[in-house]
Structure 1
Amino acid sequence: MDDPFDTIPTAAIRDGRATDAYFERTESALEHAGRNPTVVAEVTADQFPDGEFELFAGLENAAHLLEGLDLDADAIPEGCLFDGGPVMRIEGEYLEFARFETSLLGFLSQASAFATAALEARRAAPDSQVLSFGARHVHPAIAATVERSALVGGLDGFSHVAAGDVIGREASGTMPHALMICMGKGEQEAAWRAFHESVPESVPRIALCDTYTDEVDEVLRAVDELGDDLDGVRLDTTGSRRGDFHHIIREVQWELAARGHEDVDVFVSGGLTPERLRELRDVADGFGVGSYVTNANPVDFALDIVEVDGEPAAKRGKLSGKKQVYRTEDGGHEVGLAARPGPTDGRPLLEPLIRDGELVREFDLGEAQRYAATDADRVGFE
């Protein structure tokens, strides 16, 4: 039976069937001509640095795609900020990896976009809890990619249950408006109580407080209903009804404090951007960011041959020759030919990934997240 969800199976990706048709045509043409050169190919978004850093993610998937092929590969670390020059280099006979180009770029382009957007959100509210709420905006088959990339970018958690199963992290979340509406208008207390009595103790008691009446009214009713068991409230009011949201949150915080409930946190969600996070971070304790991450435009990576049988080669508009990229002490990103000395204060970023088909690097999500946070400080990412 065909997949009812239009999902490309793992076997098709591993077999190289998840490719563009012209790579199959290229294979046929080269085999017909008896030509299979040894090449150096590089994955690059921009040829030269332009001051616009992006965050590298998706490397683990890319590495497993190339693992077992008769080639060598180098890559910058996952969680590294890049600005021009290659993020990955592949060396081997061209037909060994030609058909995998489409999947390779897909793994890197979308994950790096999600991670970069997440890092922008993280940097906009550095002292707040920020969760990824955007899995509903993508095909469920890539939800784990979204959530893992969001974590690499520094977000504190995510909402998708199956994604948590894949990446080994527990999903976060409390209640939707659907619960409130199913319980009925005027029955908000019953919804909060049912939630409190039914979910595990480890789940924070966060009451959704904007379904039917004024935010302050529902917040104070939630406090009266759950008392000291209430950990926080979430405001997710439709944008057309928000008015001055900063003022609304301040009012909620004021009324909580006036009744001795300063310890009740206020979380905000719904269409948030880094600009909105900067506006609200002084009054809200945490945020749920969704579409800003999932709507990120894929990084425009390309895989280009830069050397053929030991000689520099490239299409017009691309830079020939094997390259290296460097992080300088002042946070700069520099690109140079690998055979020439790099900047005196530069640290090479392209490191061994695969040697003779064997994966020689380990992957750790926490390490990638820490690397991203440190590198963002180093380069002054905003």
Structure 2
Amino acid sequence: MEFDIVGPDAISEGSATDAYFDRTETTLRHAGRNPRVVAEITADQFPDGDYELLAGVKDVAALLEGRDVDVDVIPPGRLFDGGPVMRIEGDYLEFARFETSILGFLSHASGVATAALDVRRAAPESLVLSFGARHVHPSIAAMIERSALVAGLDGFSHVAGGEVIGREAGGTMPHALLICFGRGNQEEAWQAFDEAVGPDVPRVALCDTYSDETDEALQAAEALGDRLDSVRLDTTGSRRGDFRHIIREVRWTLDAHDHEDVGIFVSGGLGPADLRELGDVADGFGVGGYVSNADPVDFALDIVELEGEPAAKRGKLTGVKEVYRTADGGHHVGLRGQEGPAEGEPLLRPLLRDGVLVDEIDLGIDAAADRAAADAGRCDYGAET
């Protein structure tokens, strides 16, 4: 039996679409109509102060490359708040059947990236890793991990996802490893791990499987000595109690026994509020469902110009638009051709011209992460929380 996965060929050929686009294409061809249009992809018409982080652009570029269209886009890793994040101009049938996939690429990745930026900003000085691939269909694990890195997270756990995006996954041991050695044999498990894995793998001992976190952390430190990089506390919520107090107690005990260099890494159902609360007592975090289970951004694609004339459905702003980052970190939407705000930075930039990728926007992860960090600071993203 095959997995329930829509493959790359279906996406590239346009069958990964809603049925009504098939009907629309059939009808327009029957009627001999294929107008020149400008379509915009937006989440909100006007700015409302609720910024989100754009991701998924690389996949849209790959999908539309070779089609006879011009595309402008806000570079990935930039914050947006109202107005278009992408503009497509061309004969409508050149891209009509790809709308479903375009919106899916942008909506899901941007939702994940925005959630990842929430946790990044909650603990800006801490190591933060993406641990949420287990909560999603494996076919989209690479999107999850790439979006997390775009937001500035420091690493991720999914091996195949890393192979797709050209980055190496990280991780050490689950509770299952400790359980396989049996109750009371935690030291044997930690030592076996130390002997088995390569020298490039950090020695992070999971220290909450059978007994008190403080006891297991000290046992791990004594068993592995200077080879131990850190301990991980993944205590389930039903046994956690005052997690901050537990972490502080572990830190105290390690320090009291001359293990000041052993870090403390925590995971297990964490979100931004937890990272803000624990950032001064933990050295790093693994965040899972908060990032991977993020709601997609509710993007829509709408025609706003038909054969050079403003055109839009009821409830949408007609006419081609520009978006700007203002000097105070704000977001501004205006009509194309009209004067923008003083010292405003136009955000939409060329991505494709006549279907050819324009070498103007660096679509790489590192470049997007740099933009995200700069924009988050400029716009005070997460400052209120």
* Cα deviation 1:173-228 (Å, max 9, x = unaligned): 00000000011111101100010000000111000000000000100111111111
- Determine the C-alpha separation between the residues in 2 that align with 1:269 and 1:194: 23
Is 2:57 aligned against 1:59? yes
Aligned residue in 2 for 1:317: 315
What SS does the corresponding residue of 2:95 show, helix, strand or coil? helix
Residue aligning to 1:367: 367
Corresponding position of 1:380:
380
* Match for residue 155 of structure 1 among 153, 168, 171: 153
Q: Post-superposition shift, 1:360?
A: 0.7
Partner of 2:198: 200
User: Which residue of 225, 228, 231 maps to 1:233?
Assistant: 231
Structure 2 match to 1:88: 86
Matches within 5 A, 1:298-313: 298-313=296-311
Aligned to 1:45: 43
Residue 108 of structure 1: how far off its partner (Å)? 0.3
Equivalent residue letter for 1:260? D
**Distance in 2 separating the partners of 1:58 and 1:297:** 15
Q: Which runs of 5+ in 2 are unaligned?
A: none
Q: Identify the residue that residue 72 of structure 2 maps to in structure 1.
A: 74
Provide the aligned C-alpha RMSD in A: 0.7
Structure 1 unaligned regions, length at least 5: none
The alignment covers a number of residue pairs equal to 380
CA–CA distance in structure 1, aligned partners of residues 8 and 294 of structure 2: 25
Supply the AA of the counterpart residue of 1:64: A
Rounded to whole Å, the distance in 1 between the matches of 2:75 and 2:291 is 21
2:215 to 217, 223, 245: 217
> How far did 1:98 drift?
0.2
Partner Cα separation in structure 1 for residue 58 and residue 255 of structure 2: 47
Q: Deviations over 1:85-139 (max 9, x none)?
A: 0000000000110000000000000000110000000000011000000000111
Deviations 1:240-261 (A, max 9, x none): 1000000000000000111111
1:352 pairs with 2:350: yes
CA distance in 1, matches of 2:100, 2:37: 18
| Matches of 2:31 and 2:168, distance apart in 1 | 53
Structure 2 contact 75–363 (Cα < 8 Å) conserved: no
Once the two structures are TM-superposed, the CA of residue 262 in structure 1 deviates from its matched residue by 1.0
Is 1:338–2:336 an aligned residue pair?
yes
Select the residue among 265, 279, 282 that pairs with 2:263: 265
Q: Secondary structure at the match of 2:114?
A: helix
| Counterpart-to-counterpart distance in 1, 2:57 and 2:25 | 26
Q: Deviations over 1:12-49 (max 9, x none)?
A: 10000000000000011111111111000000000000
Indicate the SS of the match to 2:59: helix
| Alignment-mate amino acid for residue 293 of structure 1 | V
Identity of aligned residues (%): 70
Partner Cα distance (1:64, 1:21) in 2: 22
Q: TM-score, normalised by structure 2?
A: 0.98
Q: Is 2:245 aligned against 1:247? A: yes
> Which amino acid is 1:368 matched to?
A
1:164 maps to which residue? 162
What's the CA shift string for 1:305-335, capped at 9, x where partnerless? 0000001010110001000000011101000
